[in-house]
Amino acid sequence: MERNVILAKNAGFCFGVKRAVDEAIKYQKEFGKKIYTLGPLIHNNDVVNYLEDNDIFAIELSDTNSLNKGDVVLIRSHGVKESVIKDLTDKGLIVKNATCPYVTNIQLKVKKCYEQGYKIIIVGDENHPEVIGINGWCNDSAIITNGKTELENIPAKVCVVSQTTEKKETWNKVLNEIVKESKEIVAFNTICSATDVRQKSVQELSKEADLVFVIGGKNSSNTTKLYEICKKECPKSYHIENVKELDESLLEDESVKTIGITAGASTPDWIINEVISKIKEL
């Protein structure tokens, strides 16, 4: 049966993630030995496995105590607290920083405003490594909200930033709440422009598709948000990590004429292409 398969614009690796992976490969070759990333470099199991095959291994912060002086630790694209970088350097480790420049920009804004007496509000997931890292640049004092519950006791003087992968509607909702309560507000819409474009394109795609596959790690924040957006417009939207999770029975439905494909910022082209090729085979 003839089907139309549409790939969303900006699907797959974003600038920050691609940069982090390229940096990891570069430093491994440069030092010619095993190197370590603080946490999984990106939220994609297939890519993490690929990196391990190239002597690049994810470790937790507590594991750095057992490393030797001169071992190489790479800060991933999500970034870390300011204190973490100092601690690693003090241990005699070689620290290479692959924090996404957009995240670094948020960290520096937060630090500056915090020092100027602003209460920091972060719109995002309090358990996400990017948000945990940003909070560390204001002495872990930020108010963190995902927009699902109303903020209470909002200070009069606030600086508001966002997780780079946050949904624009959540940002707008929280900002509207703050405007009603605070007298002095410095607001930086720090949602990554690529995230914004990606979310808009999948919203349009899911309106015209009969079936949508969102490809990316199940622990990927931005992929999950893309899936949520798609599901609103197209009930037959499915979040899969790779071609192995493609449910072929979904393609037996003759009412499915147009299939939409999108992918999170941590999903490489080869995984996307495998899914598209499989769909076209069936």
As a whole-number percent, the residues of the chain with pLDDT over 70 amount to: 100
| ∠ CA 242-196-200, rounded to 5° | 75
141/215 same-domain check:
no
pLDDT of residue 270: 95
- Helix (H) / strand (E) element for 208: namely helix 193-208
| Residue 130 falls in the annotated catalytic set | yes
209/236 same-domain check:
yes
203/185 same-domain check:
no
Enter the pTM of the model. 0.86
Residue spans of beta strands (DSSP E) within the chain: 4-7, 35-38, 56-59, 72-75, 94-97, 119-123, 143-145, 157-162, 184-187, 211-215, 237-240, 258-263
pLDDT of residue 196: 85
122/169 same-domain check:
yes
Nearest Cα residue to 38 out of 6, 84, 3: 84
For range 109-118, the mean pLDDT:
98
Answer yes or no: is pLDDT of 1 > 70.
no
CATH code, domain carrying 41: 3.40.50.11270
Binding residues, as ranges, are 14, 43, 78, 100, 128, 164, 192, 220-222, 266
114/167 same-domain check:
yes
Could you read off the pLDDT of 195-204 as tens digits, one per residue? 888 899 999 9
For range 148-165, the mean pLDDT:
94
For range 206-212, the mean pLDDT:
96
29: helix, strand or coil:
helix
96/21 same-domain check:
yes
Q: Which is the catalytic residue, given 30, 82, 130, 228?
A: 130
159/116 same-domain check:
yes
84/113 same-domain check:
no
156/184 same-domain check:
yes
pLDDT of residue 236: 97
54/69 same-domain check:
yes
Domain boundary among 100, 126, 152: 100
pLDDT of residue 42: 85
Could you tell me the pLDDT band of residue 238, with boundaries at 50, 70 and 90?
A: very high
As a whole-number percent, the residues of the chain with pLDDT over 90 amount to: 85
Binding residues for [4Fe-4S] cluster, as ranges, are 14, 100, 192
Answer yes or no: is pLDDT of 46 > 70.
yes
CATH code, domain carrying 207: 3.40.1010.20
CA 46 to chain centre: 16
Domain boundary among 175, 193, 211: 193
Average pLDDT of every residue of the chain: 95
The number of domains in the chain is 3
Domain boundary among 65, 100, 135: 100
Range with the poorest average pLDDT among 51-55, 64-68, 161-165, 251-255: 251-255
Could you tell me the pLDDT band of residue 155, with boundaries at 50, 70 and 90?
A: very high
Token look-up 């780079």 returns 164
Could you read off the pLDDT of 51-109 as tens digits, one per residue? 999 999 999 999 999 999 999 999 999 999 999 999 999 999 999 999 999 999 999 99
Decide which of 1 and 2 is more confident. 2
174/201 same-domain check:
no
**What range defines the domain where residue 260 resides?**
4-12+196-281
121/159 same-domain check:
yes
Nearest Cα residue to 232 out of 253, 205, 193, 271: 205
pLDDT of residue 278: 94
